[in-house]
Every structure is written in structure tokens, then in C-alpha cells.
Structure 1
Amino acid sequence: MRCPFCADDNSQVKDSRPTEDSTAIRRRRQCEGCGARFTTFERIQLRDLTVVKSENRREPFDRAKLEKSVQIACQKRDIEQERIDRLVSGIQRQIETSGESEIQAQKLGEMVMEGLRQLDSVAYIRFASVYRDFNEARDFEEFASNVKDMGGK
């Protein structure tokens, strides 16, 4: 594993343990070159996944990008990181077990929306405002009233 500090290719695993939700292995490593310590995560990947964007552009599925989007929506909300990790892992698992190697970006966005709707109504509205491209305050009002009608948290 390449060291993020000095780019040395040699590191030694000092500790390994499963993550809270058992979807990954957390490894503490120490670089043999500079002695720095860093953490890596090893996850199961059933197949290479591709996200089909607008105009049929394709890009590899990136779990980190998905996680960042969810974290931005959940910013300054009292939501534990473990719950965010479970949401992202659940979405990734759904995609991987679907049997398809490609997923439409729109479907992926809907999966995130559904997960956030169940997690936190404010995060759900935040994500929707970007995903659905709200342009005016009225867009927020209409969407928020629908969330309220659905009994959002």
C-alpha cells in the first residue's frame, strides 16, 4: 500500500478489525519509509460498476463520491457517521446485487433520496434541492410541504 505522506510502496499492517457494520476491514498501517501511520479500508467489490450519466456519458461508480454527497446533505445534522456509512453501504450493496454492471445516475439519485428520506427530512430536502435543481424558494416550499405530508422526521 502506497504511503499517502511519502509515496513509499512498503507499509506494514499494525492492526486489522472489521468496521461497525462489518462491510469492510479497517487496517492501521505504518510506512516503512517515513514511519507515518495511516488507515485503509478494504471492502468487497462484487463487480465493476458504471454510472450512466446524462447524454450517455459513463463513469466508474465511486463510493467516495456517493458518501461525500450524503455527508454534505447531512452536514450540521445530528446524524452519526455510522448511520451514513450504513446508508451508503446499503445503496452500494443494492447496486452490486442487482445483477447489472451499469446503473442510471437518475436511479442512483432516487436511491439516495429514499435513503435520506428515511434518515433525516432536512438532509433529504438538502439533497433534493441539488438533485432536482431547485431554482426558487417556491420549489423548496412545495417539496417541503410534500415531505411534511409524508410525515418526514
Structure 2
Amino acid sequence: MKCPYCTHLENRVIDSRINKDKTIIRRRRECSSCEQRFTTYERIELMLPMLIKKDGRREAWDRGKIIAGLEKACEKLPVSMTDIDAFVDRIELRLQDVGGKEVPTSQIGEWIMEDLPSLDEVAYVRFASVYRQFKDVNEFMDELKNFLDKPSGKL
């Protein structure tokens, strides 16, 4: 592991901890050269299908993009990074369960729209406003009405 401070390749692990779900290992390291400390995370690399964008391009799964979108939707809301990570973990599991080689990004967007109210209802409305690309206020109001008409919808 290359030191982020001096780029030296030798370091030692000072501490290792496993998260509560036992899916990520956090390692605290110290560089042998500059003695700076840094943290690394290990996660199982999943073989996930390629994503098909709306314009037909193929793209590899990027967990960071989903997290960034959810962070934006959850900004200034009482939603922790742990909750967002667990949410994305569930999306990744669904992707694995599909079993195909390719999945349209629209399918992932729909999964997020289905599950997001359980994370935070305001985040759902924020995400929907970007994901659905409403043309006007009436389309936005229709989405809200549909959400409120569902048994779980309660703003």
C-alpha cells in the first residue's frame, strides 16, 4: 500500500477493525518512511453486471455515484452515512440477484425510488425531483399525490 504522504511502499498495520455487518475491514497504517498514519478500507469486490445508460452506453457499477446522489438527497436531514451505506448495500444485493450481465440504469433508479421512502421521505421527494426530471409543477404534484396515496406514503 502506497503512503498518501510520501508514496513510500512499506508500511505496517497498527489496528484492524471489522464493521458491525462484517463486510468492511478498516485498517490503520503507519508509513515506515515518514511515520505518517493513514486509514484504508477493504471491501469484497462483487462481480456486478454492466449498466446500460439511457443513451445506450455501457458503464461499470460505481457505488460512489449512488452514494453521492443519496448524500445530496439527504443533505441536512437526519440520515447517517451508515444508513446510506446500508441502503446502497441493499441495492448491490439486488443487482447481484438479477444475475444478468447487463442492467438498465432505469431499473436501479426504480429500486431507489421504491426503497427511499423507508430511508427518509423528504429525501425521496428530493431524489424524485431530479430522477423523474419533471417538466413542470403539475408533474411534480402528481408524483407527490401518488406517493401520498400509497399506504406507506406519509409526509
Band the TM-score falls in, shorter-chain normalisation: 0.7 to 0.9
CA deviations 1:46-80 (Å, max 9, x no partner) are: 31532111222011111111111111111111112
2:149 maps to: 149
Tell me if the contact between 1:28 and 1:38 (Cα under 8 Å) persists in the aligned partners: yes
User: Are the counterparts in 2 of residues 120 and 152 from structure 1 also a CA contact under 8 Å?
Assistant: no
**2:49·2:99 contact (CA, 8 Å) conserved in 1?**
no
Return the alpha-carbon distance in structure 1 between the equivalents of residues 133 and 15 of structure 2.
44
Aligned length: 153
Q: TM-score, normalised by structure 2?
A: 0.86
Contact kept, 8 Å, 1:113 with 1:124, in 2: the verdict is yes
Give runs of ≥4 in structure 1 deviating > 6 Å. Answer: none
Partner of 1:47: 47
Q: In 1, are the aligned partners of 2:50 and 2:60 still within 8 Å (CA)?
A: yes
Q: Which residue of 2 aligns with 1:8?
A: 8
Deviation of 1:86 (Å): 0.8
TM-superposed CA distance for 1:147, in Å, is 1.7
Alignment of 1:31-110 (within 5 A): 31-110=31-110
Q: Is the 8 A contact 1:23 1:89 kept in 2?
A: no
- Name structure 2 gaps, 5 residues minimum: none
CA distance in 2, matches of 1:44, 1:78: 28
Q: Percent sequence identity over matched residues?
A: 41
The aligned amino acid for 1:152 is K
The one-letter code sitting in structure 1 at the alignment partner of 2:75 is Q
Q: Distance in 2 between the 1:138 and 1:28 partners?
A: 52
Name whichever of 45-54 and 89-98 sits farther off.
45-54
Where structure 1 has 5 or more consecutive residues not aligned to the other structure, the ranges are none
Structure number with greater Rg is 2
Structure 1 position 118, deviation (Å): 1.7
> What code does the residue aligned with 2:110 have?
E
Q: Structure 1's 34 and 51: CA in aligned 2 closer, same or farther, altered over 3 A?
A: farther
**Are the aligned partners of 1:15 and 1:29 in contact in 2 as well (CA < 8 Å)?**
yes
| Equivalent AA in structure 1 for residue 141 of structure 2 | E
Alpha-carbon distance change, 33 to 50 in structure 1, aligned in 2, over 3 angstroms: farther
SS at match of 2:38: strand
SS at match of 2:133: coil
CA distance in 2, matches of 1:51, 1:119: 24
* 2:36 counterpart letter in structure 1: A
Q: 1:40–1:58: structure 2 CA closer, same or farther, 3 Å change rule?
A: same
